[in-house]
Structure 1
Amino acid sequence: MHLDLHVHCNTDDRDLIRKYVDNCIHNETMVALSGGLHYGGHDYVANEDVVKICQEFSEVLVPMAKIDLWDTPPDPAEARRYADMGVKGFKFIYPYYEYDHESYLPLYEEIEKLGLPVLFHTGDYAPNSADQKYRRPVLKNMMPIHLDCIARSFQKLQIVMAHMGTAYFRELAANLVKTHKNLYFDLAGCGAFLGVNAYQLSELMRSPLLPGGGPQAGMRKLVFGSDSYISLPYIQCQALNVYQQLLFRCQMS
């Protein structure tokens, strides 16, 4: 059984959800499903409704919550409230400040205490109307380097770097993953899992810092994430196929 840690709940249409769930069953894949209304260019299904959907389709779906990192300090109690509702992880994207801004650190500390993982979007982000409204340095705020402070400060917090920084920051992202025991990565999205070949990935993840020293040491920190949507289940099929090919070819390199 696989675990897809990067799936968006962009609709609460039960027919579409059922089709997505059937696709997951066919792929033998559990899904960490995230939604959340936020300040970026689109809104997904509210966290509370995602929890209900996951309870309804618990054979496949596991809820994650998206918490806004904006211009006022997030309340750490919000994380505990979601955990009490059954949320099994948290996602962050489109922050007002850098991910490691001091106002966000108490939230990460609380999540570390809860023993739940976090997923940070890193790298490319398509321009949209929110950029004109908020005028924030989006790519700078979501650079992988901002996960360094978080990984160092909260060493029991399991962190997944979504997209491995995409092409903009891939080498930096790989080095961070090799440095921190609690930092993992996915290649979610066509800009990531179709943007790097097996040879490139093997070279990026080769490290004397990790047990074994070869490329397989780093590849053990690869997490499956498709960046699929409830309304677009085929993306998971495509991603699963590409991940499997990458892993096989990396083993042969």
Structure 2
Amino acid sequence: MSRIVDFHIHCNSSDPEQVKQLAETCEKYEVAAALVGGLRYGATDYVPNEQVIQICREYPDLFYPLAKIDFWEAPPNPDEASRLAEAGVRGFKFIYPYYAYDDDRYMPIYERIETLGLPVLFHTGDFCPSPVDAVWRRPVLRNMDPVTLDRIARSFPKLNIVMAHLGTSLWRVPAAELVKTHPNLYTDLAGHGSFAALSAEDLAGLLGPRRHVYGVERAFFHKLVFGSDAYVDKPSTLVSALDHYRHLLDRLGLPAGLSAEIMGGTVGRWLGIPL
């Protein structure tokens, strides 16, 4: 199998020892990790984008930076995406928007990222309550419903989009159907609630062919990518995700080439990672 690429790791710590531990884990399991930080995920702050870029420069063969652009109070400036791309960012993450992902205010940023040729990762589905919910009183889950990605995928067909968590248990079926509809829409199973909750039979039902045709050649498993939802200070989640993904792919009996695409080939090409 080719090199593994994890498209979903949170950079929640810049502590050198914790960063080193994640790097050692990635090296041991031959994983290239896309790290995403950015301030304000609900009530939680992460490592700023610029610092994530610097961390990735210290481990250029293991870490690749994604940037989170704030979707909270002010509409995002498309020039910020260009600036971050020039600084070395390989993709973007969106989560916890003030308005729904497909709101008019956000469309210019997607348009700019499409022209940059970089992929995007959207959180979809469940999101833990926090004290700020009572302050802002926003429709948090509805804003991150997978159906909000429909307009984006249609409007920007050259934009490679990953739907994180396959909508979680709230929206798995519509999320999977959207993945089947749009050629540029992919999904990961990031998080124990997704990769550990789904059996191979469940996944076969979700990503199987729309018509009752036997054989994986008519299914949509090629729209799946590897994402662990690990954190810098919790690399064990990466190891758990590897085990679960491999178990699922073995049980599904997918060809080796297809499994390699799922575990890194697809995302690796988007990020320009040598495989």
Pairwise TM-score range, normalised by the shorter structure: over 0.9
The one-character-per-residue Cα deviations of 1:77-128 (angstroms, maximum 9, x if unpaired) are: 0000000000000000000000000000000000000000000000010111
Q: 1:22 aligned to 21, 24, 36, which one?
A: 24
Superimposed CA distance per residue, residues 139-187 of structure 1 (whole angstroms, 9 cap, x where no aligned partner): 1000000000000000000000000000000000000000000000000
AA matched with 2:12: N
* One-letter amino acid of the structure 1 residue matched with residue 66 of structure 2: M
Match of 1:86 in 2: 88
- 1:5 aligns with one of 4, 7, 13: 7
Give yes or no for the alignment of 1:45 onto 2:40: no
- Residue among 154, 166, 176 paired with 1:174: 176
Q: Deviations over 1:41-66 (max 9, x none)?
A: 20100000000000011120000000
Q: What is aligned with 1:102?
A: 104
Is 1:161 aligned to 2:163, yes or no? yes
Aligned equivalent of 2:270? none
Tell me the secondary structure at the aligned position of residue 168 of structure 2.
helix
CA contact (8 A) 1:32 1:63 kept: yes
Moved over 4 A (4+): none
TM-score by length of 2: 0.88
Residues 33-42 or 13-22, more deviating? 33-42
Distance in 2, matches of 1:207 and 1:245, equals 21
CA contact (8 A) 2:166 2:194 kept: yes
Q: Which moved more, 1:140-149 or 1:200-209?
A: 200-209
Contact 1:71-1:97 within 8 A present in 2 as well: no
Structure 1 residues not aligned, in runs of 5+: none
- Aligned equivalent of 1:204: 206
Q: C-alpha displacement at 1:208, in angstroms?
A: 4.3
Query: What CA distance in whole angstroms lies between the structure 2 residues aligned with 1:202 and 1:84?
Result: 40
Which AA in structure 2 matches 1:94? Y
> Does the 8 Å CA contact 1:72/1:103 hold for their aligned counterparts?
no
Bigger relative contact order, structure 1 or 2 (CA pairs below 8 A, ≥6 apart):
2
Give the counterpart letter for 1:30 in structure 2.
A
SS of aligned partner of 2:219: helix
Distance in 1 separating the partners of 2:101 and 2:9: 21
Query: Does residue 115 of structure 2 align to residue 121 of structure 1?
Result: no
1:5 touches 1:32 (CA, 8 Å); kept in 2?
yes
Q: TM-score, normalised by structure 1?
A: 0.96
Pair 1:215–1:72, CA change in 2 (3 A): farther
Report the secondary structure of 1:249's partner residue: helix
Q: Is the 8 A contact 1:206 1:213 kept in 2?
A: no
**Could you list the per-position Cα deviations for residues 14-65 of structure 1 after superposition, in whole angstroms to 9, with x for gaps in the alignment?**
1110111000011110000000002512010000000000001112000000
1:130 alignment counterpart: 132
Cα deviation, residue 70, structure 1: 2.4
Aligned length: 251
Task: Tell me how large the CA RMSD over aligned residues is.
Answer: 1.6
Return 5+ residue gaps in structure 2 as ranges: 255-275
Given that residues 51 and 87 in structure 1 are in contact (C-alpha distance below 8 angstroms), is that contact kept between their aligned partners in structure 2? yes
Cα distance in 1 between the residues matched to 2:11 and 2:145: 24
Single out whichever of 113-122 and 127-136 deviates more from structure 2. 127-136
Partners of 2:200 and 2:249 within 8 A in 1:
yes
For 1:221, the equivalent position in structure 2 comes to 223
1:215 Cα deviation from its structure 2 partner: 7.2
